[in-house]
Amino acid sequence: MSAITMDNQFVTDGAPTAGTLERSTPFFSVRDIHAYYGESYIVQGVSFDIRQGEILALLGRNGAGKTSTLRTIARAGDPVLRAGEIWIEGKPVHHMKAHEAARAGIQLVPEDRRIIAGLTVEENLELAQVAPGRGWTLERIYGHFPRLAERRRQEGVTLSGGEQQMLAIARALARDIKLLLLDEPYEGLAPVIVEEIERILHEIKPLGITTVIVEQNAVAALRLSDRAVILDTGEVAFTGSAREVLDNTELRHEYLAI
Ligand SMILES: Nc1ncnc2c1ncn2[C@@H]1O[C@H](COP(=O)(O)OP(=O)(O)O)[C@@H](O)[C@H]1O
Ligand SMILES: [Mg+2]
């Protein structure tokens, strides 16, 4: 069977060698991670792979462990990763601290966005550019975010919710970025703003940026995504294409309440 031959072709036993990396290992991989807040066992053996440039929707009910999974990947410190592995381009993220994961190109945009008060839009972006590595230039950012260009001299925290979300995403792009982790980016935003953020995410996809989007608005996340992972009480309940979730009424009812 050709499928088996194909799979076998891509399997490696040991460490990947230069040149075969792209074919033999996924761009980003989470393998059986277990993470705890103190003694609370929250992320209970989550695994998934992402190809470069893919958008993955990480879904599940409130409390399913989505934020905890993103924080574990970004090495936020809390929850604590006690077992399992996380790899980006063959580098072991599970051994990294938060600043090292950021240096490896992993950028988390948390739910509360954390725009810095007292700084303009541009100063928020410039501060992000201070981080090591090559991020996007202001010119490039403003090309994709015309609203931010218009408001560049305005204090960041005075922007609308949608504009603050755009600034938070732009700030991640101002750093050296490979993997963008978005935690509920559409929360509280009007549909027209959600569409504008979707447009931006569509634009950055062909540039090779890989995205994980966590959203309560599962339909909006799925229409943007290539693939989906559904979490249920800290475990993976489903992995497949975004289309499969949109077409599967039972799955949607059981885990997403849509
Ligand atoms: N700082 C924390 N300390 C202890 N438990 C936490 C903490 N943060 C989240 N939890 C618990 O972990 C579980 C998963 O939470 P979370 O990852 O935020 O879920 P989701 O983002 O899917 O809504 C929930 O039961 C939540 O109560
Ligand atoms: Mg959450």
Query: In b/e form, how buried is each residue of 182-219, taking b as 16+ CB within 10 angstroms?
Result: bbbbbeebeeebbebbbebbeebbeeebbbbbbbbbbe
SS (H, E, C) 27-71: CEEEEEEEEEECCEEEEEEEEEEECCCCEEEEECCCCCCHHHHHH
Q: What is the pLDDT of residue 25?
A: 74
Cβ–Cβ < 8 Å for 163, 151: yes
**Model pLDDT for residues 120-177, shown as the tens digit of each residue:** 999 999 999 998 888 999 999 999 999 999 999 999 999 999 999 999 999 999 998 9
Grouping H, G, I as helix, E, B as strand and the rest as coil, residue 181 is strand
Q: What is the pLDDT of residue 11?
A: 35
> 66 in ligand 1 pocket by Cβ < 6 Å?
yes
What residues have their beta carbon closer than 5 A to ion ligand 2?
A: 66-67
Residue numbers of the chain with a pLDDT score lower than 70: 1-24
Q: How far is the CA of 199 from the centre of ligand 2 (A)?
A: 23
Q: What is the pLDDT of residue 5?
A: 34
Single-letter code of the amino acid located at 65: G
Q: Which mutation among 58, 59, 68, 69 tests ligand 1's pocket best, with the greatest number of atoms within 8 A of CB?
A: 68
Q: How far is the CA of 71 from the centre of ligand 2 (A)?
A: 10
Give the residue ranges of DSSP H helices in 104-190. Answer: 121-129, 138-144, 146-150, 161-173
Q: What is the pLDDT of residue 203?
A: 93
User: What are the beta bridge partners of residue 153?
Assistant: none
Q: What is the pLDDT of residue 24?
A: 58
> 64 in ligand 1 pocket by Cβ < 6 Å?
yes
Cis, bond preceding 185 (omega within 30 deg of 0): no
Domains of the chain with CATH codes: 52-76+101-105+178-256 (3.40.50.300)
From the alpha carbon of 65, which atom of ligand 1 is closest?
17
Single-letter code of the amino acid located at 170: A
Task: Give this prediction's pTM.
Answer: 0.90
Residue nearest to atom 1 of ligand 1 (CA): 37
> 249 in ligand 1 pocket by Cβ < 6 Å?
no
